[in-house]
Amino acid sequence: MSDLFLADLDKKFIWHPFTQMKGWAEEKPIIIKEGKGCFLKDTNGRWYLDAVSSLWVNIHGHRKKEIDDAIIAQLGSIAHSTLLGLSNEPAIKYAEKLIHLINKSFYGLKPNLSKVFYSDNGSTAVEVALKMAFQYWIHKGEKKKTSFLSLNNAYHGDTLGAVSVGGIEIFHDTFRPLLFKTFKAPAPFCYRCELKKERAACSFACLGEIEKIFKAYADEISAFIVEPLVQAAGGMLVWPEGYLKGVRELCDRYKVMLIADEVATGFGRTGKMFACEHESVAPDIICLSKGITNGYMPLAVTIATDEIYNAFLGEYSELKTFFHGHSYTGNPLACAAAIACLDIFEKENTVAELQPKIKLLEERLSEISELSCVGNVRNKGMISGIELVKDKKSKEPYPWEDKMGWKVADNARDKGVLMRPLGNVIVVMPPLSISVDNLNYLMDTTKKSIISVMA
């Protein structure tokens, strides 16, 4: 089919996510046909650098042979079989491999994460975690602990439970009448501190706000859900060092579970396998997806402790079963891809090899921070955001409708780089396998595009 014919069919039949379709219908869309390494090729034969890892899922590059081979091999056995009343070999093997990795990553820390519950995307992993925490406290006789605490500017997915603990107004306010009540605390975003404090002298006032909530409502709160170290969809908001450890201590003190939503930050993105490792914090529940299969297959896991798992054990008559599941839970093809993905981490020493690239990224971001239209650059590992501002001194943002982030992304696309901004924030989040030369090209292009648009 020709490129134009495909574009017409797309506009006729597809409703795209997070997309104003009126504008889409007026554009000529890029239609991806092929991928290789850190690059994507469209139907016209043009190659683009994938600067956002195909929405943060690609770790090792497109068409990774080991993952291709693993899926092909699994197809020779079976593509899918339910985990409801049955099991399958790839799901068993991956759960074992992942728990060994978790134990290594959080060695010596409490609580001990030990039980894997499968689902198929980040939102469902979060829904599982919320329902687990809710039902756990019921089984423990704490029937008032039915709500949750989350942060402003949080994003945990688009299903209704995940939206209920979200905090991005532009995404979530429309659905407010459908949601359940939750508590909200200020996000620890120092550049635009909600409490109007300066980091050097604030003594973590944002943690103080959490403690106020816990003092008043801990008997109602089952869990505090966070995106550790980076609130990604909220604008790549990077936390100050020590905040996460403070959250863990408060949760322990007030007997509130800690749920770590590492859907975006897990699997090496922050420079360690899991973001919580940076502050030696182990959550009670961790949610993982995105990079879990290198973007090959939909898969997610929610990992809980034995303490949580054991609370669901009982006789059939007690109705302690966790009544939750998905048709594609533990899909063998997806689990085979996930096993191969972890094998590559080990074989290629991915996290260690990442450190020089993180240093380079930070150096190049520092250069970009000097531009007059850049208010703040921030990163943790290979996750970074460049915030464009109308006035650097006052931090005045560009109006949302000016689409300044998209103008920069469109300029970069013309130069062979595919980006997807978050409002005024340019997101740079390439595959971890990106070469130094390609990373330099990406940062050169980003800087040139910002300058071109703002000229």
pLDDT-based confidence at 455, cuts 50/70/90? confident
Query: Which of helix, strand or coil describes residue 323?
Result: coil
Q: What burial letters (b/e) apply to 112-127, b meaning 16+ CB within 10 Å? A: ebbbbbbbbbbbbbbb
Q: What does the DSSP 8-state code read for residue 180? A: P
Per domain, the residue ranges of the chain are 31-63+350-454, 72-348
- For the cut 80, the answer to whether the pLDDT of residue 1 exceeds it is no
List pLDDT tens digits, range 92-125: 999 999 999 999 999 999 999 999 999 999 999 9
Looking at residue 199, what is its pLDDT?
A: 87
What value does the mean pLDDT take over residues 342-358?
98
Closest CA to 125 of 251, 227, 38, 9: 227
CATH topology of domain 31-63+350-454: Aspartate Aminotransferase, domain 1 (3.90.1150)
Q: Let me know the angle formed at the C-alpha of 274 by 271 and 280, rounded to the nearest 5 degrees.
A: 100
Using alpha carbons, select from 116, 346, 345, 381 the residue that is nearest to residue 228.
381
Topology annotation, domain 72-348: Aspartate Aminotransferase; domain 2 (3.40.640)
- For 15-58, the pLDDT digits (tens) are 999 999 999 999 899 999 999 999 999 999 999 999 999 999 99
What is the band of 281 on the pLDDT scale with cuts at 50, 70, 90? Answer: very high
**Tens of pLDDT, residues 158-214:** 999 999 999 999 888 999 999 999 999 999 999 999 999 998 889 999 999 999 999
What pLDDT was estimated at residue 2? 78
Distance CA 238, CA 378 (A): 6
Share of the chain above pLDDT 90, in %: 96
Helix (H, G, I), strand (E, B) or coil at 302: strand
